[in-house]
Amino acid sequence: MARLPRLTLPGHLHHVLQRGNNRQPIFVDREDFETMLALLTDNAQRYAVAVHAYVLMGNHFHLLATPSTASGLPQMMQAVGRSYVQYFNRRHGRTGTLWEGRYRSTVLQPERYLLPCMVYLDLNPVRAGLVAQAADYLWSSHAHWLGLRVDRLLTPHALYWALGNTPFAREAAYAAAAQAGISSQEEAALTASALSGWALGEVEFVAELQKHTARRVTRGRPGRPALQLI
């Protein structure tokens, strides 16, 4: 059976995952991380994709983003992927593929999953044992949303703005959310939805989403609660 196309809808929140082939490293040193961030920054602007959060790990990376057009996210990921592979192979004296096939992505209900997914990304290095605190990791968006640095790649989502009336209030609210973490159920749902490509959200959200695409958004009939489909 032919695989389904990725679920990509303009104006909606997408969780994107790209892995290295056979889980091999895609970032070896600081220059590799910085090159990827520069490519993401340039191409997010070029293709009108608002990136709200990210984390670059040794053998994979995650993005949380909202594309303005139906083609924006695929075009951005294709441009970034091609340019980075050329750079990486040239710099490290290798040939062949770097990615584990095409990137994976799905649509999330922002009211339910924006903050949990941002925290999920932030805690990835902590779960992997790379750092003790999310703020200690250089290659994620966490420090930006805490006000510790300015990252040109990032665009705040409206729900982040709603965390407070001042930058300090928003940063404090987000720090509290990150400190609280997410439940094991939320973590499992976010992981499974990214890998499967099925939309993640409450029943009304999923049913409404189905009205805007011919591509199935859930494994079962549209409208069943997303968490039951994982």
Question: Measuring CA to CA, which residue among 76, 144, 137, 134 is closest to residue 105?
Answer: 76
pLDDT band, residue 223 (cuts 50/70/90): very low
- Residue 18, classed as helix, strand or coil, is strand
- Give the pLDDT score at 154: 98
At 51-64, the pLDDT tens digits run 999 999 999 999 99
Give domain 13-229's CATH architecture: 2-Layer Sandwich (3.30)
226, pLDDT greater than 70: no
**What is the spatial distance between Cα 76 and Cα 43, in angstroms, rounded to a whole number?**
5
Average model confidence (pLDDT) across the chain? 92
- Give me the pLDDT at residue 219, please: 80
The end-to-end CA distance of the chain, in Å, is: 21
Query: What are the start-end ranges of the H helices in the chain?
Result: 30-46, 72-92, 110-122, 124-127, 142-145, 158-161, 167-180, 184-196, 203-210, 226-229
Q: How many CB atoms lie within 10 A of CB 147?
A: 14
Predicted confidence at residue 225, as pLDDT, reads 47
Asked if pLDDT for residue 1 goes beyond 50, the answer is no
Quick one: what percent of the chain has pLDDT higher than 70? 94
Q: Binning pLDDT at 50, 70 and 90, where does residue 6 land?
A: confident
pLDDT of 119 above 70? yes
Distance set, CA 37 to CA 48, 84, 141 (Å): 16, 10, 11
pLDDT value at position 164? 96
194-217, pLDDT tens digit by residue?
999 999 999 999 999 999 888 889
DSSP state of 21: G
**What confidence tens digit (pLDDT) does each residue in 156-196 have?**
999 999 999 999 999 999 999 999 999 999 999 999 999 99
Which tokens hold the place of 182?
Answer: 């997410």
What average pLDDT does the segment 137-153 reach? 96
Exposed (0-12), middle (13-18) or buried (19+): which is 217, by Cβ within 10 Å? buried
Residue 203: helix, strand or coil by DSSP? helix
Nearest Cα neighbor of 61 from 42, 36, 87, 88 is: 36
pLDDT in tens, 75-95: 999 999 999 999 999 999 999
Phi-psi region at 29: left, alpha or beta (left = phi > 0; alpha = psi -120 to 50): beta
Residue 7 pLDDT: 84
Beta bridge partners of residue 15, listed in sequence order: 64, 106
Residue with tokens 């665009």: 155
pLDDT tens for 94-110 read 999 999 989 999 999 99
Residue 142 in this model has a pLDDT that exceeds 50: yes
Average pLDDT of the segment spanning 6-29 = 95
Alpha-carbon distance values, 88 to 13, 26, 85, 102 (Å): 29, 8, 5, 17
On the question of pLDDT at 227 being above 60, the answer is no
Largest CA distance in the chain: 51
Distance CA 89, CA 98 (A): 8
